[in-house]
Structure 1
């Protein structure tokens, strides 16, 4: 007889602690011989990935406006055609040369994180829903002092029409805060800074 697990309780959350880089990015931490490269070192599987190449650069700022130097940032995104490299994509249409996931620690001296990826396409809002979301990239942030990983999105400043139609952006009540989710496009570079607290606090999502 299978024993019920209904009595199990959720354990308390803990901060990422000072060892998150050792466990998630050992090569970055100077520990070699475990992985040839750190997992998630790039969303691009190889140079054959389809789409427009972009470089995302940014900082994670604390409430005082200082960049965190021990943050770990992950991104999740669709490929250039708006398809995810996921088991849910059963038709095999997603770009096999694009992972759609990346993980980068911030530079230990400056705190800047950098991702080399492709600009994603528009994706459906929900199954059987005709609405499309604007091109966007999901961000997940952990660092010492953050009990639960924070999740947010980055949209693109050169997609004003698509952003205006996006059903997720439309749900943000305080419209002046939408700007905290817009990455500033400058040629191939997109600047996206994440503010944990303060006047410019980024919108975070409970997902």
Structure 2
């Protein structure tokens, strides 16, 4: 006789660490180049990933998704396309042996009028059982930053962990701290059960 599955309680399979083995298959040539280095408005997004003790994490993998300069979310097919012309808004980069990552991209525009422009960042790493989500906000539009609902929901010291620093050469510096003092704010998204 078949089991009545509507009354059977199943135990969830525990999460597994997402690294460090992804380094063999997930990085791809040009993954960190959302635009070519010679693009006239190319901007470098870079930083260091550290753990709770402040030690560098030498085997993390980061992905970014972002709007283009006008705030349009790209819909071009093939996120992995690197043809020198198509901006897909997606990039993937592994950190080096001292925890440093680099992307070459564009400054995103805000996706809605009056909203702060940001880059969505996802981190995979050894000991991280689920990928971590955060945002990289551009520092210039202080009015939009003050009005952003996510930033406004955070205490000032936590809010600062989501705002990149604009360096003298125009680069964006965004360090990711996984735990401890100055920990980067990570976001949780609701899970939809099927």
Instruction: Confirm or deny a common fold (TM above 0.5).
Output: yes
Q: Secondary structure at 1:20's aligned position in 2?
A: helix
> Which structure 2 residues correspond to residues 1-207 of structure 1 after superposition, within 5 A?
11-25=13-27, 37=29, 40-44=31-35, 52-86=41-75, 97-108=86-97, 110-124=98-112, 132-172=114-154, 174-186=155-167, 187-207=169-189
Question: How far apart, in 2, do the equivalents of 1:120 and 1:18 lie?
Answer: 30
Contact 1:52–1:80 (CA<8 Å) still a contact in 2? no
Equivalent-residue separation in structure 2 for 1:123 and 1:53 (angstroms): 19
Distance in 1 between residues matched to 2:185 and 2:16, nearest whole Å: 22
Runs of 4+ residues over 6 Å off in structure 1: 5-9
Provide the rounded CA distance (Å) in 2 between the counterparts of 1:166 and 1:52: 25
Q: Which runs of 5+ in 2 are unaligned?
A: 77-84, 190-194
Q: Give the conservation status (yes or no) of the 8 Å contact 1:105–1:113.
A: yes
After superposition, the CA RMSD in angstroms is 2.5
CA distance in structure 2 between the aligned counterparts of 1:64 and 1:122, rounded to whole angstroms:
35
Matched residues, number: 174
TM-score (norm 1): 0.75
Give the conservation status (yes or no) of the 8 Å contact 2:42–2:106: yes
SS of 1:179's equivalent? helix
CA distance in 1, matches of 2:38, 2:11: 46
**How far does residue 169 in structure 1 lie from its aligned partner after superposition?**
1.2
Query: Does the CA contact (< 8 Å) of 1:53 and 1:188 recur in 2?
Result: no
Distance 1:206 1:70 in 2: 23
> 2:79 maps to which residue?
none
* Structure 1 spans left out of the alignment, 5+ residues: 28-36, 88-95, 125-130
- SS state of the match for residue 163, structure 1? helix
How many Å separate the matches in 1 of 2:12 and 2:67?
A: 31
Shift of 1:19: 1.1
Partner-residue secondary structure (3-state), 2:92: strand
